[in-house]
Amino acid sequence: MSRKIEVEDALGAAQSYLHAVRRMLEQLMGEGADYCALDLLAMTAMERITQAQNIVDDLKEG
């Protein structure tokens, strides 16, 4: 397996885990609960992972 594929797989897994954390927060904290800081942290991490995935895609093309 190439290193690029390994990185893509790791980034995809991390994004999936963060998505699960966000859903878990919604369930644990309930409707209208103040979990904004945790949600923002997860969302920001997901955005950074997406940026990293885009870099990997650019490397594949180059």
Q: Would you kindly state where each structural domain of the chain is located, as residue ranges? A: 3-57
Determine the pLDDT at residue 32: 65
Place of tokens 């999936």: 16
Determine the pLDDT at residue 62: 64
Q: How far apart are CA 56 and CA 27, in angstroms?
A: 33
Determine the pLDDT at residue 53: 87
pLDDT tens digits along 22-54: 888 878 877 666 777 788 888 899 898 998 888
pTM: 0.65
In our burial notation (b when 16+ CB lie closer than 10 A, e otherwise), range 41-59 reads: ebeeebeebeebbeeeeee
Task: Please enumerate in sequence order all residues whose Cβ is within 8 A of that of 30, keeping only pairs 6 or more positions apart, or say none.
Answer: none
